[in-house]
Amino acid sequence: MSLWQDHLGAEIRYVDTPSYGRIRVAEAGRRDAPAILFQHGIGGHLEAYCKNLVPLSDEFHTIAFDYVGHGLSNRKAMEYTPPVLAEQLRELMDALGLARAHLSGESLGGWVSGFFAAKYPQRVDRLMLNTGAGIPIVSEKGRADMTNLMELSKKAAGQAPSAESVRARIGWLIHPSNHHLITDELVALRLHYYTMPEGREVSPMVNRMLPRHDEFLLPLEQIGTPTMLLWTRDNPIHDLECARAACARMPNAELYVMQADGAHWPQYEAPDEFNRVARAFFGGATLKVAA
């Protein structure tokens, strides 16, 4: 199925924010239903949630958006850090008229959501850290994965993105058994975002967040919001050992381990399971499946 067939039933629009400019938003569902804000990873875009917005919109007001400097949102020269992007989230919620919402963030999105929940707990109902970054890397495998990613990023620095390099980068996100999901359409879409002229200056600013990971570790003990760490058995860098250690430090957290094969994009790799778990968790249930 095409990414745009997946989005049938969702509205794509732009929302103006005071500090971060025009932000691209996709949303579905009744505006008076409980809201879930889905947030993508570094270098990503809202299409990461194309398989989740409409299926969950029967019960929730589902929203995905491009962070500033990403996708089709404003490409702004600035210092990019997770706390800064948490302020973008605050301004976007204000612009959408949302006093409170559920948050679900993958990778960078989880990192940003965690900072937001620590600073603005009154605005968060439930929090899902979906293979989220910003937690301590406590395993040897995780440290080796980070070193490998840093080396790959250095090699790619200064080179023009190509279909081959984009396909390889998406392959890093997705479990080998799910590589059939890396379609020409998905590669072409991400390549388009990466080669937009206005992104050439901004992309290096965004990517500087990666080597600064440990400068911005989440204040785990300060996140009292009901939280689910949704993880896969094969998540790179922040593996299950990292997730267990982080969960143990959070006062109101549970760990769910995906049963389906997945790496860093479980919401895209196994949407049926992800949507079932998200529906239950954001509906108030407890789903502890740890390994």
Q: Give burial (CB, 10 Å; 0-12/13-18/19+) of 44.
A: buried
As a whole number of angstroms, the distance between CA 142 and CA 46 comes to 26
pLDDT at position 45, please? 97
As a whole number of angstroms, the distance between CA 37 and CA 103 comes to 5
Q: Identify whether 287 is part of a domain.
A: no
Of the candidates 170, 93, 104, the residue with the CA atom closest to the CA atom of residue 132? 104
Q: Identify whether 288 is part of a domain.
A: no
Which domain does 65 fall in, by range? Answer: 3-282
As a whole number of angstroms, the distance between CA 94 and CA 71 comes to 21
Report angle CA 88, 131, 234 to the nearest 5 degrees: 155
Tokens of 120: 């603005």
Note whether 55 and 36 are within 8 A (CB). Answer: no
pLDDT in tens, the chain (291 residues): 789 899 999 999 999 999 999 999 999 999 999 999 999 999 999 999 999 999 999 999 999 999 999 999 999 999 999 999 999 999 999 999 999 999 999 999 999 999 999 999 999 999 999 999 999 999 888 888 888 777 766 555 557 889 998 999 899 999 999 999 999 999 999 999 999 988 888 989 998 999 999 999 999 999 999 999 999 999 999 999 999 999 999 999 999 999 999 999 999 999 999 999 999 999 998 765 555
As a whole number of angstroms, the distance between CA 138 and CA 8 comes to 41
In 3-state terms the chain splits into helix, strand, coil percentages (rounded to 5) of 45, 15, 40
Total tally of structural domains belonging to the chain: 1
What is the pairing mode between strands 35-39 and 61-65? parallel
Of the candidates 146, 278, 144, the residue with the CA atom closest to the CA atom of residue 212? 146
Q: Identify whether 240 is part of a domain.
A: yes
CATH of the domain at 134: 3.40.50.1820
pLDDT at position 156, please? 55
Of the candidates 274, 48, 47, 264, the residue with the CA atom closest to the CA atom of residue 175? 264
Q: Identify whether 106 is part of a domain.
A: yes
As a whole number of angstroms, the distance between CA 95 and CA 90 comes to 9
pLDDT at position 291, please? 54
What sections of the chain are H helices per DSSP?
A: 3-6, 82-96, 108-119, 140-156, 163-173, 184-194, 199-207, 240-249, 266-269, 271-282
| Number of residues in the chain | 291
Q: Identify whether 7 is part of a domain.
A: yes
As a whole number of angstroms, the distance between CA 232 and CA 242 comes to 12
Q: Identify whether 289 is part of a domain.
A: no
Q: Identify whether 262 is part of a domain.
A: yes
Q: Identify whether 291 is part of a domain.
A: no
